[in-house]
């Protein structure tokens, strides 16, 4: 698990392992049902892990990265909750003093991970072509069976849009790079199975040439794979770009033609 922790308090943290007392990222894992948002602290976690904060110290309002590797191979199969918190070993957990930890439910089983997702695009002003940007937004839903860590990092998953010149998906050579490749901003850091996050794309149009584009919208684990490579169905949007308009809303029209999840954007 790779991420950024931000100091929202009023005191600086000492994070250097050389210091006798220093702050780390910690996680305690419990069987599902033993902890909750209202009561995140319990005795006898089944797994207890730590990760250093990658900074000598963190001032109020600043953040620093961490990378937490947790071995759950010895756990019996079942449902669990990880309580992600800050800790000063042998002294205190931040949640004991009012800081709200992050609860991460997960399942440990023999079943293969299922990677799937659904997008619901905003109907009202969901797509807007401005003079220098194409903007669209909506809701991302995790339809798989694993927790998605959204954002940058080794395990981070992001929502991407790849632009190809062309009007028919069947004629595309997807082994060639897209003309443009952008990422969405999302509202959540973690996405549990069946949970949702808002997303927003703001695509600069300065380097676009006029023409018809096919936009492939898909989830990606950067440097590893796109979800469509693992069986998920991407979304395809056909869009005609020209520079004769300044700002105009675009309507989305879903098409019956293959492939599934194909739509056209039109004024």
DSSP 76: P
- Parallel/antiparallel/unpaired status of strands 185-186 and 196-204: antiparallel
Same-domain pairing of 154 and 218: yes
Nearest to 40 by CA among 91, 2, 77, 93: 93
Helix (H) or strand (E) holding 191: strand 190-191
Same-domain pairing of 26 and 65: yes
* Sign of the dihedral through C-alpha 59, 61, 65, 70: positive
* Sign of the dihedral through C-alpha 148, 151, 157, 161: positive
Same-domain pairing of 146 and 232: yes
| Number of compact structural domains in the chain | 2
CATH number of the domain within which 6 lies: 2.60.40
Give the domain range for residue 21: 2-108
Per-residue pLDDT of the chain (267 residues; tens, 9 = 90+): 777 899 999 999 999 999 999 999 999 999 988 998 888 888 899 999 999 999 999 999 999 988 888 888 778 878 899 999 999 998 999 999 888 999 988 877 766 678 899 999 997 667 899 889 999 999 999 998 888 889 887 678 999 999 999 999 888 888 899 999 999 999 998 888 889 999 999 999 999 999 999 999 999 998 889 999 988 999 999 999 987 766 778 888 888 665 578 999 987
Same-domain pairing of 129 and 223: yes
Whole-angstrom Cα distance, residue 152 to residue 104?
18
């Amino acid at each position: 698990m790779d991420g950024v922790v931000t100091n929202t308090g009023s005191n600086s943290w000492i994070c250097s392992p050389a210091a006798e007392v220093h702050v780390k990222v910690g996680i305690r894992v419990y069987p599902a049902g033993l902890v909750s948002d209202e009561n995140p602290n319990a005795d006898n976690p089944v797994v207890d892990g730590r990760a250093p904060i990658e900074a000598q110290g963190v001032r109020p309002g600043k953040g620093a990265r961490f990378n937490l590797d947790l071995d759950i191979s010895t756990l019996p199969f079942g449902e669990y909750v990880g309580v992600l918190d800050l800790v000063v070993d042998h002294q205190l957990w931040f949640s004991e003093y009012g800081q709200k930890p992050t609860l991460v439910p997960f399942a440990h089983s023999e079943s293969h991970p299922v990677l799937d997702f659904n997008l619901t695009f905003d109907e009202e002003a969901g797509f807007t072509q401005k003079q220098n940007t194409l903007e669209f937004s909506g809701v991302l839903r995790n339809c798989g069976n694993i927790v998605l860590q959204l954002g940058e990092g080794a395990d981070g998953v992001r929502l991407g849009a790849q632009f190809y010149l062309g009007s028919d998906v069947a004629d595309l050579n997807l082994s060639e790079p897209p003309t443009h490749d952008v990422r969405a901003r999302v509202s959540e850091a973690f996405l549990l199975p069946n949970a949702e996050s808002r997303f927003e794309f703001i695509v600069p149009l300065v380097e676009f040439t006029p023409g018809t584009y096919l936009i492939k919208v898909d989830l990606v684990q950067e440097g590893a794979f796109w979800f469509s490579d693992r069986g998920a169905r991407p979304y395809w949007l056909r869009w005609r770009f020209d520079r004769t308009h300044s700002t105009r809303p675009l309507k989305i029209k879903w098409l019956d033609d293959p492939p599934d999840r194909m739509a056209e954007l039109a004024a």
